[in-house]
Amino acid sequence: MESLVYSKTPAGQQELQTRSGKISQKERQLLFMIDGQRSSAMLVAMLPGQEVLLNLKNLHDAGFISRDTPQKPLEEIRFSGPSTIAPPPPRNQQRQIDEARKIILSVCHEFLGQSWEDKLASQLASVRRAEELTPIVEQWAEALRRSGHRGAAFNGEKAIEVLFKATT
């Protein structure tokens, strides 16, 4: 599952202004949060307990949002020569790490406040490999749970898990 980014269409912008009643309150809340930069994984983490993916599909089908076409990272070079040649290096996970940073900091901002956001931002700045994210994600999820935001912790961890499963 690839994490997609959506933007409001002119019809979506008009729906926010006019409140025609064509969409539910939860779909309206989601439409408000779509800004062309937040990924579907980030939206799932920010709206715990909601059917975000289903609502994204409904908004897309209704013409209120459109999928942005992200720039595709360079794919692995496929070599059809002899098998004695070394395999290509593993895929660069920088895009996924950057997306995970956005999710963590956005949810932090929403539920934990500036001090946690600053603390985790400094830790995330040094992350270069996916494995280095694990203790940070665990610390972040535990802080969310302790502050009473179990749904945000669960959805955030799932969003990051989905993000990295897309590369395997």
The CB-side HSE value for 157 (13 A sphere, CA atoms) comes to 17
Query: How does pLDDT run across 6-49, given as a tens digit for each residue?
Result: 899 999 999 888 888 888 888 988 998 898 888 888 888 888 77
pLDDT computed for residue 69 by the predictor: 58
pLDDT computed for residue 80 by the predictor: 52
With bands split at pLDDT 50, 70 and 90, how would you rate the model's confidence at 144?
very high
* In the chain, % of residues over pLDDT 70: 83
Q: Which of 63-67, 86-90, 125-129, 154-158 has the lowest mean pLDDT?
A: 86-90
Model confidence at 133: pLDDT above 70: yes
If you average pLDDT over every residue of the chain, what do you get? 81
Instruction: Find, among 130, 140, 138, the residue nearest to 163 by Cα.
Output: 130
Query: How does pLDDT run across 102-113, given as a tens digit for each residue?
Result: 889 888 888 888
Greatest alpha-carbon span in the chain? 64
Contacts of residue 80, Cβ cutoff 8 Å, sequence gap at least 6: none
Q: Which two tokens stand for residue 32?
A: 């408000």
pLDDT computed for residue 140 by the predictor: 92
What is the mean pLDDT of the segment spanning 146-163? 87
Phi and psi of 80, rounded to 5°? -100, 15
Q: Bridge-partner residues for 8, per DSSP? A: 65
DSSP-assigned states of every residue in 91-127 = PP-HHHHHHHHHHHHHHHHHHT-HHHHHHHHHHHTT-
Q: Which two tokens stand for residue 44?
A: 């799932």
Q: What is the amino acid identity at position 22?
A: K
pLDDT computed for residue 138 by the predictor: 92
Instruction: Find, among 151, 52, 143, 152, the residue nearest to 107 by Cα.
Output: 152
